[in-house]
Structure 1
Amino acid sequence: MEKAKISSIQFFLLLFMFELGTAVVVARGIEARKDSWLSILLGLSAGLILFLVYHRLFRYYPSLPLTAYARKIFGTYIGWVVGFMYTILFLYTSARNVREFSEVLITATMPEIPLLVVIVLFVLTICYVLLLGIEVFARTAEILGIFLIFVGIIGNLFVYVTGTVDPNNLKPVLEYGWKPVLETTFSPPLLVIFPFAEAIVFAMLFPYLNRAEVVKKAGLASLIVSGLILSYTAALNIAVLGVSEVERSPFPLLATVGKINFLEFIQRLDALVVITLLITVFFKAGIYLYASVTGMVDLFRLKNHRQMILPAGLILVFLSVGIAEDFAEHSQEGFTIFITYFSAPLLIVLPLVMLMIAFIRHRFTKQRN
């Protein structure tokens, strides 16, 4: 692994912006209609439990990334295959995030720009920062994280001042009972996976923290804050747009901010959403790309991560462009096939299996000693 260290606040901000990612602009949990915000909170609760699983595995193997301790748990050959599966998953998920950001940017501000141009420029920016190292990437999170909070406060302020928020759109709470909420949270496509279970990618970064003992506190705090913001955003979208319009809109937050009209002077603040998405997806796609590269270095025993960043970035560009014909197909594949058949086994089932095996092995080792 790269010889670098990141602080607890940098880790908090990286995970915070990672969790917001593209989830902040799409309609997560809208299958529960007015209670989508409640589904997100339930998904957060399950996500916190999964994070404790990832953290426990880290406690068993504090100096190893996920791809390395998979070989310790499953053996050299099966563990190598498992690590390779995670490496491919991380790269593919990074491509999905790059594609989603590019679609939003083109839809909101630059409809005449070719998709390939946006993707290439975005990926090159990510690769450049990653070439400088994970410490530089983490320090960038400190600066842009504060700016992101400022943008969020300004955007919310104008939404409320404009007077477009109608709390009655959220009533009655639990109109159809708990069943739709529970089904939305725990039935495919699992709300707990996107975005909360995706935090497993940080199992590739845990060894970089300068204080291993703060991983649990900082991680849980970051998940809770980001989950509450996502739940609040879902409620705000419904309060402004109503359930029907949120269901029809591919990017509800963009439509919500588009309603801002303050004194016939301050209008069309779509740029605030684009800036928010630019920052969050930059870090989310970057973390996924870095985790994938780290996995490649570990699995193929390469000298360092820098020699793989540009080749991986090139693959990322082709994946992002060829992943789907349009955004509708991209969303359909992501919320059905990808989450159900790929993410669920690798983000939920396999970590639980690894934890059970690691627990049994460490228990037997203690008894022998």
Structure 2
Amino acid sequence: MQEKISNSQLFYIMIGFEIGSTVIFGLGAQAKQDAWLVILTGMLCGLVLMWVYTKLVDHYPGHTLTQMIPKIVGRYIGYPLNLVYILYFIYLASRVARDFGELIGGTFLPKTPMPVVIACFMAVIVYCLSGGIEVFGRTGEVLVPFLFLVAIVSWSIVYSSHIFDIKRLTPILESGAGTIWKAAFPLVVTFPYGEMVLFMMFWPSLSDQTKVKKLGLTAVFVAGILLTINMVNVISVIGPRWIEERVYPLLTVVKLASVANFIERIDAVVIITMFIGGFFKVGSFIYGAAIGAAELVKKESRRSLVVLIGVIIVPLSLIIAGSYIQHVNIGLNKVPLFLHVPLQIVIPFVLLVIATIRKRYGSR
């Protein structure tokens, strides 16, 4: 029997996924004070991509991405391509796990070995996912509103500490629109917006299939606005130069915040909220990979596959890069071009064209 979740539950999961590891990095920093415009540009492209993903669902309602592909391109191309997507989701889960392992290990638990940090992080995720998509959805309903509350309180403290200066956003478009597009594509378009291709694995679990397009577009729009507001705030506090120089710009901002030398050092709370975002991002990738793997091996239960994938991710996250600098370099310069663009943009567009042609001329 197919497990079901409500539209609101999946919406919360998608918002947690989109914010996830995105707030850690200073995306669009090369555009300096226009970094917030880079995120907005990425959001607009993300809306187009989400339209493509949901349009495919219109052609094959009730199907996951890995169920659609063999029907569109045939099983001889479809099954190898499905395997590529499953491995892609597992690889991205390992990358995000490494991101948060480095964040927690470098700030919260500096003396704890990295494998222990990542293994504990993964154990919590796998334990939740072993209860099924319904438990994951209910967790989203509880934790994501908490993220919003913490964000509101944290930024209120930042504003009250008088370190906020909106003039740091000027001059707008100093380097021209070309610089913004160069910063947006492929990195910001594909991370985090294009990664929403993953949720094509979740659509059949929705209790109301008629609102897939509205749900997907709304999630991209809301997440894009939240990320834009966050970047505007970060630039207004530390300025464009520090965004490029700091590994974790948001943490730099909250460390600077202080109200009457009494309310300060709120970075610990912010790290916890980042951890929650990572929980939803890694968890979503694992569950999406488990759904695809279950379909590939024709297995009814996904719980054992969730555990297996979680076990694989722990060592994989440690060996994908020799150092954190190398890890970030691969993630920002190579993964978007060689993995994200083909699997998030090119292949879904090709699938949509073929599916449209099949629908229109299939009877002939």
Q: 2:22 aligns to what SS in structure 1?
A: coil
Following the alignment from structure 1 to structure 2, what is the Cα–Cα distance between the partners of residues 44 and 272?
Answer: 27
Return the match for 1:318 from 315, 319, 335.
Answer: 315
Q: CA deviation at 1:25?
A: 1.8
Following the alignment from structure 2 to structure 1, what is the Cα–Cα distance between the partners of residues 220 and 248?
Answer: 22
Residue 211 of structure 2 corresponds to residue 194 of structure 1:
no
Kindly provide the CA deviation profile for residues 99-147 of structure 1, in whole angstroms up to 9, marking residues without a partner as x.
Answer: 1111111222211111111100010111111110001100110000111
Q: Which amino acid aligns with 1:184?
A: A
Structure 1 stretches lacking a partner, 5+ long: none
Structure 1 runs (4+) deviating above 2 angstroms are none
Residue 128 of structure 2 corresponds to residue 151 of structure 1:
no
Q: What does residue 121 of structure 2 align with?
A: 122
Following the alignment from structure 2 to structure 1, what is the Cα–Cα distance between the partners of residues 222 and 190?
Answer: 17
Q: CA deviation at 1:302?
A: 2.0
Q: What does residue 337 of structure 2 align with?
A: 340
Kindly provide the CA deviation profile for residues 309-351 of structure 1, in whole angstroms up to 9, marking residues without a partner as x.
Answer: 2111111101111121222111100111111111110000000
Matches within 5 A, 1:210-225: 210-225=207-222
Matches within 5 A, 1:265-280: 265-280=262-277
Q: CA deviation at 1:258?
A: 0.7
Q: CA deviation at 1:77?
A: 1.6
Residue 356 of structure 2 corresponds to residue 359 of structure 1:
yes
Q: What does residue 95 of structure 1 align with?
A: 94
Choose 298-307 or 83-92, whichever is displaced more.
298-307
Q: CA deviation at 1:291?
A: 0.5
Return the match for 1:256 from 226, 244, 253.
Answer: 253
Choose 238-247 or 283-292, whichever is displaced more.
238-247
Contact 1:108 1:270 in 2 (8 A): no
Following the alignment from structure 1 to structure 2, what is the Cα–Cα distance between the partners of residues 113 and 164?
Answer: 33
Q: What does residue 299 of structure 2 align with?
A: 302
Kindly provide the CA deviation profile for residues 221-257 of structure 1, in whole angstroms up to 9, marking residues without a partner as x.
Answer: 1111110111111121111111111101111001111
Q: CA deviation at 1:266?
A: 1.5
Q: 1:246 aligns to what SS in structure 2?
A: helix
Q: What does residue 165 of structure 1 align with?
A: 164
Q: CA deviation at 1:272?
A: 2.2
Following the alignment from structure 2 to structure 1, what is the Cα–Cα distance between the partners of residues 324 and 234?
Answer: 21
Contact 1:18 1:281 in 2 (8 A): yes
Following the alignment from structure 1 to structure 2, what is the Cα–Cα distance between the partners of residues 300 and 254?
Answer: 43
Kindly provide the CA deviation profile for residues 236-286 of structure 1, in whole angstroms up to 9, marking residues without a partner as x.
Answer: 111111111110111100111111111111111111221111111101100
Count of matched residue pairs: 364
Following the alignment from structure 2 to structure 1, what is the Cα–Cα distance between the partners of residues 194 and 275?
Answer: 22
Q: What does residue 48 of structure 1 align with?
A: 47
Q: What does residue 137 of structure 1 align with?
A: 136
Return the match for 1:245 from 235, 242, 252.
Answer: 242
Q: CA deviation at 1:303?
A: 3.1
The alignment's TM-score, normalised by the length of structure 1, stands at 0.96
Percentage of identical aligned residues: 37
Following the alignment from structure 2 to structure 1, what is the Cα–Cα distance between the partners of residues 325 and 229?
Answer: 25
Structure 2 stretches lacking a partner, 5+ long: none
Return the match for 2:225 from 225, 228, 253.
Answer: 228
Q: Which amino acid aligns with 2:105?
A: I
